[in-house]
């Protein structure tokens, strides 16, 4: 089997740095494809292809305006990533190092379940 499709979910879609660059550029507001081509400094077909991937995971929305196509960010598509990764925040937050021990203990009590198996 090969790796999952980039369009499988937001995690796969944003694994590509250029696609994160595109989203960052769109954070400033709606933009036509050519703007992104200039900002990224890569070919137009490449940008269009990245935009297609982002569209398939709903990370961007497109709107026609004359001969241009204006792309807009849809940050909500990134929420699963945020939700998943934020639970790990305490891992590096010095402040919570002490709290971790307590929380782990409470969690084990609540679950009332042997931790092994």
Partner DNA sequence: GAAACATATACCTATATAGGAATATGTCAA
Partner DNA sequence: TTGACATATTCCTATATAGGTATATGTTTC
CA 49, chain centre distance (Å): 17
Site for DNA in 44-73 (CB under 7 A): 44-53, 62, 64, 66-69
How many angstroms separate the CA atoms of 94 and 113, rounded? 28
How many angstroms separate the CA atoms of 33 and 52, rounded? 11
> Which entry of a copy of itself, DNA, none binds 48, CB below 5 to 8 A by partner kind?
DNA
Which residues of the chain form contacts with a copy of itself (CB under 8 A)? 3-4, 6, 11-12, 14-17, 20, 23, 27-29, 35, 38, 61, 63-64, 72-76, 78-79, 81-82, 84-92, 103-104, 107, 110-111, 115-117
């Amino acid at each position: 089997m090969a790796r999952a499709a980039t369009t499988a979910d937001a995690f796969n879609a944003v694994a590509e740095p250029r696609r994160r660059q595109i989203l960052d550029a769109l954070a400033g507001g709606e933009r036509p494809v050519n703007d992104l081509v200039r900002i990224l400094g890569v070919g137009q077909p490449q940008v269009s292809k990245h935009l297609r991937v982002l569209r398939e995971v709903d990370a961007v929305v497109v709107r026609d305006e004359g001969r241009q196509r204006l792309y807009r960010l849809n940050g909500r598509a990134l929420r699963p990533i945020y939700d998943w990764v934020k639970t790990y925040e305490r891992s590096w937050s010095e402040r919570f190092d002490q709290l971790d021990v307590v929380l782990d203990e409470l969690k084990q009590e609540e679950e009332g379940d042997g931790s092994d198996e």
